[in-house]
Amino acid sequence: MSRHIKQGNGWRIGWDAAAPEFPGLVGAETWAIELTEAEFNDFCQLVGRLAEAMQQIAGELMAEEAVSCEVESERLWLEAEGYAQSYGLRMIVLSGRRCEGQWDAIATPPLIQATQTLTVF
């Protein structure tokens, strides 16, 4: 089977190698968007960069300090906002059909982990 979906409380991510135009999928409980292969790859890479940046920032902040960190490619913009140890994600698709979505702080850690383990692409 060429279709893989992982999901949890407030998040989902998937890959369908047989899909001709939009093989990637990201979403939450009430929304989802299919992504092109390039958009999906950017999403996974940018999420990893944000997670790494938030880990690095954690050592510089007091526990009660909130922070916002942004990364982008020509196709996607992502933002992590909250506390270094508990933050939500926001995404805007910049190419083609454009859309926006977000994940809360509870959904973010397992979503980040899923982007690192969904290795079917």
Q: What digits encode the pLDDT tens for the residues 7-16?
A: 999 999 999 9
Give the H/E segment covering residue 112.
helix 108-117
DSSP 29: S
Total structural domains within the chain: 1
Expressed as residue numbers, the domain containing 46 is 3-117
| Percentage of residues in the chain having pLDDT higher than 70 | 97
| Percentage of residues in the chain having pLDDT higher than 90 | 76
pTM score, whole prediction: 0.91
Does the structure show a pLDDT above 60 at 120?
A: no
> CATH number of the domain that 35 lies in?
2.30.31.10
Residue-wise pLDDT for 20-52, tens only, equals 999 999 999 999 999 999 999 999 999 999 999
Specify whether the backbone of 101 is left (phi greater than 0), alpha (psi in -120 to 50) or beta.
beta
Strand partners, 78: 71, 91
Q: How confident is the model at residue 119 (pLDDT cuts 50, 70, 90)?
A: low
